Amino acid sequence: MGRRFFVGGNFKMNGSISSVKEIVNNLNGAKLDPNTEVVVAPSAIHLLLVRESLKKEIAVAAQNIYYKKNGAFTGELSVEQLNDAGIAWTLLGHSERRVSMAEVAESNEFLAEKAKAALAGGVGVIFCCGESLEIRKENKTKEHVLSQLKSAASAIKDWSKVVIAYEPIWAIGTGEVASPEQAQEVHADIRAWLKSDVSPEAAENTRIIYGGSVSEKNCVELAKKPDIDGFLVGGASLKPAFVDIINAKSA
């Protein structure tokens, strides 16, 4: 049947109760492609609000988790707490937590521990990877992106609940976007790595989605590429045009 198209919306640290309710109401009333899996990731303070008011066909993700069980870890969310609240997914490894927020600076090894904990607890992982503009100019994109994935792979036994999100750092929130050809090239490299280093089954079935200034203007062309299985959307997920991006595959 092929890989089911997957679109995630990362609200980041945005939204008030009223604006999040407006986004939810828009999604609840919209006609969405039933062949596309949709997940939204509001900020932690809005997780329950969104899960309780959003139609069940759309899943909800946390933007981060901690790898330890419940305990004395101030400010963190556990896998058990997500399960209790009906939160089915978590983002991991977004560049804003890897490099942009210097006080966080999550390492590959730390993210592997988080992925292991999430999957062991039954929470799906949207695992982000991507390169800076400097790395791209040095023609080291493939090497860098695969190094991020290889570390996580050591902790992942079951890839059926993993979605890989390729997000070039230079295209996140900048208005720049990788061309369909640039994005497809990296997605194909990731799929080839999955086949050689994980398994042919993982390569065939794992969704690899693109993130980096995805909008209603570029999503349809990106969606036509054979190894682009969806999108992780930032700022545009806060707007009504998010519906157009969800429906990109059927446009």
CB 173, CB 217: distance < 8 Å: no
94 flagged as catalytic? yes
Q: In the annotation, is 167 catalytic?
A: yes
Q: Do the beta carbons of residue 3 and residue 229 sit within 8 Å? A: yes
Which is catalytic among the residues 46, 94, 106, 131?
A: 94
As a dihedral over the C-alpha atoms of residue 89, residue 95, residue 100, residue 103, rounded to 10 degrees, the angle is: 50
What kind and span of H or E run contains 23?
Answer: helix 17-29
- Catalytic one among 96, 167, 187, 216? 167
**The dihedral sign for the CA sequence 55, 208, 145, 135:** negative
Q: How far apart are the C-alpha atoms of 144 and 149, rounded to whole Å?
A: 9
The answer to whether 197 and 158 are in contact (CB under 8 A) is no
Q: Where are the alpha helices (DSSP H) in 121-240?
A: 133-137, 141-153, 180-193, 200-205, 219-223
- Report, as residue numbers or ranges, the catalytic residues: 94, 167
